[in-house]
Amino acid sequence: MTFELNCPVCLKPLEGDNKHLECPDRHSYDAAKQGYWNLLLANQKRSKDPGDNAEMVLARRQFLALGHYQPLADTIAQQLVSIVTEKPAPRILDMGCGEGYYTHRMHQQLELTSNDYQLAGLDISKHAVKAACNQTKALTWMVASGARMPVADGSLDLITVLFSRLMPDEFSRTLKPGAELLIAYPGEDHLIELRHLIYDQVRHSGFDPAAVLGAQFEALATESVRYTFTLPDQAQIAQLLAMTPHGWRINQAARDRLAALDHLELTLDVSLARFKRL
């Protein structure tokens, strides 16, 4: 189940053990004490500490642990297994894995069906990947750039992209011909009740992954995951707000409206889209 990595500098294969890796050009990497690989180069950083900070990661971990998104995680994991079930020794990458909530559920579902697979999680945030290591030590976790993933050309059977930026050229480079992308993105009614409380005018994104991926990918199917759930108290409302981008944009009047609530009923509306690399 060990995931084969490539050097982020030269993209040549990395070899070694679970403590140290080195490529033929002698670029070398040591595993962090938490068990992940830091394969993010200094010139790939747009800031000193890219990606989600420690506070954002903690807020997301706390909210996701409440189980409100568990049906979504289960559906994603089941779709993943259905895609790779007939593939011999599939190699799967969760790009933008965050704190590993969905990746861990993928791992649990794969363990029920197959022992011959490779699964890795990649995120640019070291805080997120450190948290992911606490989910399970059985997977390969790496801090790396999604714009230059440390995996070989045409080596992946599936990339999952859950609420993360799409990188069509890099996805096309690393996926095998005919291999798939599984993308999760918010539907138009996702957390619509919260958005109405925060914004004077709620706008629809109109996001279309096919328009971003272009001619390198063929759309196969899209499934909507939709259900309602209730946040029973102020603590959970605050946890949700802290983990979403809405929490960065909220003004004081909207914050006061939310503070007056003793519960909040919400709609989860997420689209799962499958694409094939041509």
pLDDT > 90 fraction of the chain, expressed in percent and rounded: 84
Return d(Cα 189, Cα 123) in angstroms, integer: 27
pTM above 0.75, yes or no: yes
Return d(Cα 45, Cα 56) in angstroms, integer: 19
Q: Which helix (H) or strand (E) holds 101?
A: helix 101-113
pLDDT of residue 184: 98
Q: SS3 helix, strand, coil % of the chain, rounded to 5?
A: 35, 25, 40
- Is residue 214 a known part of a binding site? no
pLDDT one-digit tens code per residue, 189-230: 999 999 999 999 998 889 999 999 999 999 999 999 999 999
- Is residue 185 a known part of a binding site? no
- Contact present, 96 and 164 (Cβ < 8 Å): yes
Return d(Cα 204, Cα 57) in angstroms, integer: 26
- Is residue 7 a known part of a binding site? yes
- Is residue 111 a known part of a binding site? no
pLDDT of residue 44: 85
Return d(Cα 217, Cα 151) in angstroms, integer: 19
- Is residue 10 a known part of a binding site? yes
pLDDT of residue 41: 92
- Is residue 23 a known part of a binding site? yes
Domains of the chain: residue spans and CATH: 15-188+204-227+273-277 (3.40.50.150)
- Is residue 133 a known part of a binding site? no
- Contact present, 81 and 109 (Cβ < 8 Å): yes
Residues with Cβ within 8 Å of 208's Cβ and at least 6 positions away in sequence, in order, are none
Return d(Cα 254, Cα 78) in angstroms, integer: 38
CA dihedral 92, 95, 100, 101 (to 10 degrees): -90
pLDDT one-digit tens code per residue, 84-100: 998 999 999 999 999 99
Q: What are phi and psi of 219, to 5 degrees?
A: -70, 135
- Is residue 107 a known part of a binding site? no
20-22/15-16 β-pairing: antiparallel
